[in-house]
Structure 1
Amino acid sequence: MFYYRPLSTPKDLPPSTEPFYPNIYLRSQLCTKPQWPPSSTSVEDKVAIVTGSNTGLGLESSRQLLSYNLSHLIMAVRSIAKGEAAAAELRREYPLATIEVWQLDMTSYESIQKFVQRTETLPRLDIVILNAALGNLTFNIVKSTGHEEAMQVNYLSTVFLSILLLPVLKRKSPTGPGRLTIVSSGLALTVGIPTKTSSPLMTTFDNPKTYKWDTQYSMSKLLGHMFLYKLVDFVSADDVIVNLVDPGFTKGTELQRQASGLLSVVFSLAKLATARTVRDGACTYLDATVVKGKESHGCFLMEWKIQP
């Protein structure tokens, strides 16, 4: 079977030559202007799923999709009560849209499977934004899987959900390729594969003695890059366009909610000095799912552009 391979896949782009990650960070955060969808953009009649959509970037990107006439929004959340509270807010703003709250626990493979089975009942599915993520400061094991929680949610469960949703998006997007965007981070550029000899490799990340929260978060995002790097060999952009997007360091999210003491002060000062608004951060999601086309298949989007 012939698969569409756009010229600007990560396999074709040369590696980044930026010698120092803070240079990338500061340019991205302070020197890059948001690029909003054209005023003529419309997602009318389409159905979209946004995970982790009861707060922060997930909630704001849901609101922005609705502002471009999205007909049907599914808010995939762990807590139905919190999801319904957020949905009530959006329903007041967009009374003509259908807004549903579906339960999805990203620490549970069973919950993920049930969620995907439920998507089979939809008449169509056009857009999926996998936004749910954790940045745990402390080491936590998911008992049902045996894996560290942030690695479980950010990588293993996100990849599992992606794979299960691909055939649904292929079948149920009638007006063009389905769209699957996985939220990543520029921090993926800061880490390398561990040199430890653990086999399988995943056991390296499940060891409380070597756990470092910042490295673990960055590694979970790097593994997502590696997943997409291989995925484009098996998935055609004619069926589903899959990409990664970095919203940048953003105010108004709960990613650093566990921080306390000095670390909390550091995060607060960094946000004050360099963070994007949640509105600007969330518009990167729309750029990845609505504006960018097949040229973004298999690519990492940062600063509203395809990046190495």
Structure 2
Amino acid sequence: MVGSRDLTPSNDSFGKIFFHNQFRAKPQWPAPKTSLLGATAIISGSNTGLGYEAATQLLRLQLSRLIMAVRSRERGEAAAARLRRLFPKASIEVWLLDMSEYDSVQAFAARVARELSRIDIVILNAGLIGLTFKAAKSTGHGELLQVNYLSTVLLAILLLPTLKAKGPPGGQPAHLTIVSAALTLAAKFAERDSIPLLPALDDPKKFDREETYNTSKLLAHMFLWNLVDYVSADDVIVNLADPAWCKGTDLARDATGGMKVGVKIFAGLTGRSPRVGASCFVDAVVNKGKESHGCFIMSWQIHPFAAYLYTPEGKVVTQRCWDETMAELEFADVRTILNSMRG
């Protein structure tokens, strides 16, 4: 199986990539008569923005059961009510999930294993862009590192055995897509030489509202680089999907003043619509098959990881990131879970 780590790294400038993503790439929509009847999907952060739009698109494909994994029950139920009016035949449920707390992540994964008899699709969409450094109260890690990386990969690992055991009928693998960003390709990753690595990413003095976000997403490339050694595409298809820069989402909801105005203007001039952006997630879980396992999907095409990962130095740091992540998540027995996926 060829994944993104087996590809030749791209030498294109980020400007060229951005222009292609925003203005040249063409959406790949599901084929006519594609049906998800009988299927169950989980989408985190699905009460708003691209998560909500992805939920809408899957429901249009006759998805039978949707689990909306959200932090606020009130906002989740309001979004669910809108979807229930549009899709009265579907079962649409709101389950609480706070990605800033490990306990919440573990409780959610345990509920999935306990209550769902079938699970076909997981889209891990919940993410943050922070304008200032904030620490997650329960862990002390910076919120971007906690939500965009640590809790996301913990949830992915915890869900893998359930996805393998309760995937689609007929021996077809379930899909797990982690939302990524093209900005990973532009990450400067100033902390790359830090030993240990993860604590350096928690330093408030080094916080940069752009670079810290880019790096938090880059770490998921490093994670997937190693994850494919444990997970077979025959069991669960795991990939990363980039929606590109989109307008009409809440990702930069904390922006104020001139920055908020600037973001809206820039998005209006260059941004994809939420419908087109969310189609990248739907493409990753509906159109793409085993060939996308271990891949970074950008503009509906399989793309290499960030070029740094292919360098000798990058491979060392990628392994360091993996080892530190496994140590950080040892409380959840992640090594045992991953080793069991090899069996």
TM-score normalized with structure 1 length:
0.96
Deviations 1:96-140 (A, max 9, x none): 000000000000110011101111211111100000000010110
Correspondence for 1:144: 138
**Structure 2 gaps, min length 5:** 305-343
- Classify 1:93/1:126 alpha carbon distance in 2 versus 1 (closer, same or farther; 3 Å): same
Of 50, 62, 67, which residue of structure 2 is paired with 1:57? 50
Among all aligned residue pairs of Structure 1 and Structure 2, give the percentage whose two residues are the same amino acid: 54
Distance 1:174 1:102 in 2: 21
Partner of 2:110: 117
Q: Look up the equivalent residue of 1:294 and give its one-letter code.
A: K
CA distance in structure 2 between the aligned counterparts of 1:66 and 1:140, rounded to whole angstroms? 35
- Aligned mate of 2:100, from 104, 107, 117: 107
Counterpart amino acid of residue 211 in structure 2: T
Quick one: distance in 1 between partners of 2:188 and 2:4?
Answer: 17
Q: Following the alignment from structure 1 to structure 2, what is the Cα–Cα distance between the partners of residues 195 and 132? A: 24
**Matched residues in 1 for 2:191 and 2:146: separation?**
21
Q: Displacement, 1:265?
A: 2.4
- 1:17 offset after TM fit, Å? 1.6
Tell me the equivalent position of 1:129.
Answer: 123
Q: What aligned pairs does 1:174-253 form with structure 2 within 5 A after superposition?
A: 174-175=168-169, 176-195=172-191, 198-253=194-249
Structure with the higher helix share, 1 or 2: 2
Q: Partners in 2 of 1:229 and 1:271 — Cα distance?
A: 31
**1:158 aligns to what?**
152
1:169 matched residue in structure 2: 163
TM-score, length-scaled by structure 2 = 0.86
Paired position in structure 2 for 1:288:
284
SS of the aligned residue for 2:178 comes to strand
Shift of 1:11: 2.1
Cα distance change of structure 1 residues 204 and 195 upon mapping to structure 2, 3 Å threshold: closer
Secondary structure of the residue that 1:11 maps to in structure 2?
helix
Task: Give the AA of the match of 1:228.
Answer: L
Instruction: After the TM superposition, list the runs of 4 or more consecutive aligned residues in structure 1 that deviate by more than 6 angstroms.
Output: none
Query: Who is 2:65 aligned against?
Result: 72
**Separation in structure 1 between the aligned mates of residue 26 and residue 265 of structure 2, nearest angstrom:** 21
- Partners of 2:93 and 2:128 in 1: CA distance: 23
3-state secondary structure, aligned to 2:240: strand
SS at match of 2:275: helix
Query: 1:193: Cα distance to partner?
Result: 3.7
CA distance in 2, matches of 1:22, 1:262: 24
**3-state SS in 1 of match to 2:41:** strand
CA distance change for structure 1 residues 195 and 283 in 2, over 3 Å: closer, same or farther?
Answer: closer
What amino acid is aligned across from residue 36 of structure 1 in structure 2?
A: W
The AA in structure 2 aligned to 1:202 is L
Q: 3-state DSSP class of the match of 2:100?
A: coil
Question: 1:195: Cα distance to partner?
Answer: 4.9
C-alpha distance in structure 1 between counterparts of 2:42 and 2:295, whole Å: 21
Question: 1:177·1:241 contact (CA, 8 Å) conserved in 2?
Answer: yes
**Further displaced range: 52-61 or 254-263:** 254-263
Give how far 1:196 is off: 6.2
* Pairwise CA distance, 1:143: 2.2
CA RMSD of aligned residues (A): 1.1
Contact persistence 1:196–1:204 (CA under 8 A): no
C-alpha distance in structure 2 between counterparts of 1:174 and 1:264, whole Å: 43
* Residue number among 11, 15, 19 corresponding to 2:9 in the alignment: 15
Equivalent pairs counted in the alignment come to: 301
Provide the C-alpha distance between the structure 2 equivalents of 1:292 and 1:80, rounded to a whole number of angstroms: 32
2:41 alignment partner in structure 1: 48
- 1:31 aligned partner, one-letter code: R
The equivalent of 2:313 in structure 1 is: none
Q: Match of 1:271, SS?
A: helix
* Other-structure match for 2:18: 25
